[in-house]
């Protein structure tokens, strides 16, 4: 079908998942600039067991009204599929009928949207072929070095069925044909082949059976699949991550026709040609054997902001290698959406796709969905759009005076407080519409207020502010308690959605939390627990000092016994964590870091690698872990090669029952943007190494003590991963605050 590029007035649509508001005048304004992308897509999981068909219909109407002209329905993901193949040539749907999906295809087209289905290919096959594989051993790749918990996910391209047919003839091609035939006589223009994030070690095990490399087998499978789609009259779209590697930043990577691009060393790019490999396997050189590139579109998904200059060199690489087109694919990072749209527009790319993934389904991610939907299309239509500031100054007052007035700490009101007046300053030149305020317990931990309180805000143009009053329910939780706020509105002239979030905006309690030490003037973050009493430890909140200090949360003690004095007992509390302002990462990035922790191990760790201190996750930031032999390990996410962490391990065992000091030093970047990182434990000599890949910022992650959190802000691992000991002091200073240079 031809893409519909008409300008359509917006309407208010209740999707059943979230409500989107926008003024019609705003949408018209957003389309006045030249629209550089022929294809403006929106990618969602197709999960009819979670989202009704009518909700998908209403979402499509919303997309068309805002100016999207393609909707991508993903039929599978890691561990999930909406269909199975119980026997060769047979597709069984789950939670929907063929008629249901055909109805959605017709509905999309009736709204001017090209419906594009995504089916997983090569990897992520267990939900599709798991049952069939039980009867056909060898259908899924298996390598001897895999861990017992490793699930088989990669189809074996070399496999032949007992009747002699190969896996493509018997399984893959009938699967593709099944979904292409759902469109009827008007065949789909595109089919998205989901070849992302699969274990190259698994594929390598299959490749060795036929004296091939993993790259050669990958290319052969991809050639077969894309050729079949082309023969059926549709254009194949493939995810690009498995064809990318940080090796492309240096000469000698093995790809013919491409020199190298130093920009491709940036750690935040989704380059997965070595995905999950523990054996040095790469499929990067599959590019050398890929045929018909000029007929294949690459959907290049990059969810971060790009390199330090906001550039995405993978686009240039795929264009250099001769693909039909490159479509940028974004997620929820607004800076990334803006930068990627601008970069692909400058490079003449023909399409952009906004992806949602689990945010389309997860209840706790619901507020981010309208941000993706509204703001992505603004940039897709006008990549040079300049957004208004989103960190709005917010003032919270009450008839009850705050218990303190420190500028670095949130307002803290007495328990009798029920009504609060919230005022937010509106940027100059911005006309807000549909403004609301949401108040929620801080990550749902320190209050029983799990559902947000929502109240409308009134625009006072003469004062350039929004104003509203929120009423708190009585006795939402034991005192003290903290709350997050979010001010949200749509810009009338552009349709851009502003969400200004403030974590720990205000608290309620009988008295201010105790102070955990007095911070030196140059401290970034400073917590000294040596002067705390048992009663202080039971207060659930502590004040911590430093330029980026604030409040430290002590969550859900494990038992009713009082904690010891003079230290934070990580065994007594379920979790202890703080949320320093995100700007702390800008300071660390520019000025480097000196981190000191005083701790005492009380017993052997019952789990593997509990965290003494977490300032990130596996994917970003850094963590200081306790190894099974009581050695200290510094883990810097992606620091080794852009995917695997860089680990520095102190070889000496830390004694039990003795106070020990560890020190981590991260230097500022030199002229070549290289850093030195050091780890010292006790009186041992420091271990120094150069950081090959720069540290990845983790502004959304808490600074946690004795536990660690995942990227969604949830406690990671089981209780057995808690640090078995006490922490007496945590100090973060700029790199300049150190006794001697590295």
Measured between alpha carbons, how far is residue 629 from residues 517, 625, 661, 682 in Å? 32, 11, 17, 16
Answer yes or no: is pLDDT of 312 > 50: yes
Separation between Cα atoms, residue 68 and residue 44, nearest integer Å: 13
HSE toward the beta carbon, residue 48, CA cutoff 13 A: 17
Mean pLDDT of 274-290: 95
Q: Which of 381, 414, 443 corresponds to the end of one domain?
A: 381
Answer yes or no: is pLDDT of 739 > 70: no
Calculated CA dihedral for residues 215, 221, 227, 229, nearest 10 degrees: -120
Instruction: Return the percentage of the chain with pLDDT > 70, whole number.
Output: 87
Give the per-residue pLDDT at 508.
83
245: in domain: yes
Give the per-residue pLDDT at 31.
38
Classify residue 661 as exposed, middle or buried by CB count within 10 Å of its CB (0-12, 13-18, 19+).
middle
CATH of the domain at 623: 2.60.120.200
579: in domain: yes
Q: Write out the residue range of the structural domain in which residue 52 sits.
A: 13-381
Pair (596, 677) in one structural domain: yes
Beta bridge partners of 326: 298
Give the per-residue pLDDT at 17.
39
Q: Quick one: pLDDT band at residue 473, thresholds 50, 70, 90? A: confident
CATH of the domain at 300: 3.20.20.80
Pair (376, 483) in one structural domain: no
Mean pLDDT of 712-725: 70
Give the per-residue pLDDT at 475.
61
Give the per-residue pLDDT at 402.
65
Pair (79, 227) in one structural domain: yes
Pair (602, 626) in one structural domain: yes
Query: Is the distance from CB of 603 to CB of 656 less than 8 angstroms?
Result: yes
Answer yes or no: is pLDDT of 198 > 70: yes
182: in domain: yes
Total domains present in the chain: 3
Pair (467, 337) in one structural domain: no
SS3 488: strand
Mean pLDDT of 596-605: 88
Pair (32, 144) in one structural domain: yes
Pair (360, 433) in one structural domain: no
Q: Which of 480, 508, 536 corresponds to the end of one domain?
A: 508
Q: Which residue has the higher pLDDT, 228 or 392?
A: 228
316: in domain: yes
Q: What tokens appear for 515 in the block?
A: 């102070």
Answer yes or no: is pLDDT of 443 > 70: no
Pair (330, 464) in one structural domain: no
461: in domain: yes
Instruction: Return the percentage of the chain with pLDDT > 90, whole number.
Output: 63
683: in domain: yes
CATH of the domain at 408: 2.60.40.10
Answer yes or no: is pLDDT of 405 > 90: no
30: in domain: yes
SS3 737: coil
Mean pLDDT of 626-630: 89
Q: Which of 381, 409, 437 corresponds to the end of one domain?
A: 381
Structure confidence by residue, pLDDT tens digits, 87-140: 999 999 999 999 999 999 999 999 999 999 999 999 999 999 999 999 999 999
Q: Which residue has the higher pLDDT, 464 or 145?
A: 464
675: in domain: yes
Pair (271, 191) in one structural domain: yes
Answer yes or no: is pLDDT of 560 > 50: yes
Q: Which residue has the higher pLDDT, 298 or 509?
A: 298
Pair (186, 310) in one structural domain: yes
Of 548-557, 611-620, 631-640, least confident by mean pLDDT is 548-557
Q: Which residue has the higher pLDDT, 54 or 692?
A: 54
């Amino acid at each position: 079908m031809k893409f519909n590029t008409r300008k359509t007035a917006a309407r208010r649509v209740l999707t059943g998942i979230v409500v989107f508001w926008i003024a019609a005048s705003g949408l018209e304004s957003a389309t006045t600039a030249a629209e550089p992308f022929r294809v403006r897509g929106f990618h969602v999981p197709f999960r009819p067991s979670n989202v009704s068909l009518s909700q998908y219909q209403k979402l499509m109407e919303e997309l068309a009204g805002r100016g999207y002209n393609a909707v991508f329905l993903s039929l599978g993901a890691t561990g999930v599929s909406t269909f199975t193949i119980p026997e060769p040539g047979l597709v069984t749907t789950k939670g929907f009928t063929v008629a249901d999906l055909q109805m959605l295809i017709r509905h999309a087209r009736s709204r001017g949207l090209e419906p594009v289905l995504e089916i997983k290919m090569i990897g992520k096959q267990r939900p599709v072929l798991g049952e069939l594989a039980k009867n056909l051993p060898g259908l899924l790749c298996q390598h001897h070095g895999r861990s017992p918990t490793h699930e088989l996910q990669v189809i074996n391209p070399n496999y032949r069925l007992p009747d002699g047919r190969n896996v493509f003839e018997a399984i893959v091609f009938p699967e593709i044909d099944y979904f292409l035939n759902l469109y009827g006589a008007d065949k789909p223009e595109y089919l998205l082949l989901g070849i992302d994030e699969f274990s190259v070690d698994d594929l390598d095990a299959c490749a060795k059976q036929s004296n091939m490399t993993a790259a050669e087998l990958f290319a052969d499978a991809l050639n077969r699949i894309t050729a079949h789609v082309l023969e059926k009259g549709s254009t194949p779209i493939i995810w690009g991550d498995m064809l990318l590697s940080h090796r492309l930043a240096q000469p000698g990577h093995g790809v013919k026709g491409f020199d190298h691009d130093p920009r491709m060393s940036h750690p935040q790019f989704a380059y997965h040609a070595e995905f999950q490999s523990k054996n040095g396997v790469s499929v990067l050189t599959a590019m050398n054997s890929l045929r018909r590139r000029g007929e294949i579109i690459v959907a290049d998904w990059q969810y971060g902001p790009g390199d330090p200059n906001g550039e995405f060199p993978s686009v240039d690489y795929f264009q250099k290698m001769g693909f039909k087109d490159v479509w940028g694919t974004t997620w929820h990072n607004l800076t990334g959406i803006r930068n990627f749209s601008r970069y692909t527009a400058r490079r003449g790319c023909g399409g952009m796709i906004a992806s949602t993934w689990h945010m389309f389904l997860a209840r706790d991610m619901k507020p981010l969905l309208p941000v993706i939907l509204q703001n992505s299309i603004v940039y897709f239509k006008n990549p040079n759009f300049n957004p208004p500031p989103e960190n709005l100054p917010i003032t919270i007052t009450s008839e009850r005076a705050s218990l303190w007035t420190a500028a670095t700490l949130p307002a803290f009101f007495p328990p009798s407080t029920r009504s609060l007046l919230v005022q937010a300053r509106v940027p100059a030149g911005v006309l807000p519409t549909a403004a609301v305020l949401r108040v929620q317990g801080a990550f749902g931990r320190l209050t029983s207020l799990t559902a947000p309180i929502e109240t409308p805000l009134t625009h006072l143009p003469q004062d350039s502010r929004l104003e509203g009053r929120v009423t708190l329910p009585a006795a939402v939780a034991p005192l003290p308690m903290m709350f997050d706020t979010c001010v949200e509105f749509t810009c009338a002239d552009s349709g851009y959605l502003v969400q200004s979030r403030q974590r720990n905006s205000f608290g309620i309690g009988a008295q201010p939390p105790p102070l955990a030490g007095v911070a030196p003037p140059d401290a970034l973050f400073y917590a000294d627990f040596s002067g705390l009493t048992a009663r202080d430890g039971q207060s659930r909140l502590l004040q911590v000092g430093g330029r980026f200090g604030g409040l430290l949360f002590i969550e859900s003690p494990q038992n009713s016994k009082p904690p010891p004095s003079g230290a934070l007992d990580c065994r007594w509390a379920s979790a202890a964590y703080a949320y320093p302002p995100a700007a702390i990462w800008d300071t660390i990035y520019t000025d480097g870091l000196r981190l000191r922790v005083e701790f005492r191990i009380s017993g052997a760790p019952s789990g593997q690698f509990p965290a003494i201190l977490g300032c990130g996750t596996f994917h970003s930031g850094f963590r200081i872990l306790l190894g099974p032999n009581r050695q200290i390990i510094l883990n810097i996410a992606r620091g080794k090669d852009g995917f695997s962490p860089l680990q520095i391990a102190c070889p000496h065992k830390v004694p039990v029952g003795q106070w020990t000091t560890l020190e981590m030093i991260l230097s500022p970047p030199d002229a070549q943007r290289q850093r030195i990182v050091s780890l010292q434990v006790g009186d041992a000599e420091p271990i120094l190494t150069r950081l090959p890949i720069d540290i990845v910022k983790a502004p959304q992650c808490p600074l946690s003590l004795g536990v660690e959190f995942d990227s969604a802000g949830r406690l990671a691992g089981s209780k057995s991963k808690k640090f078995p000991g006490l922490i007496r002091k945590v100090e973060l200073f700029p790199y300049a605050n150190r006794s001697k240079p590295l």
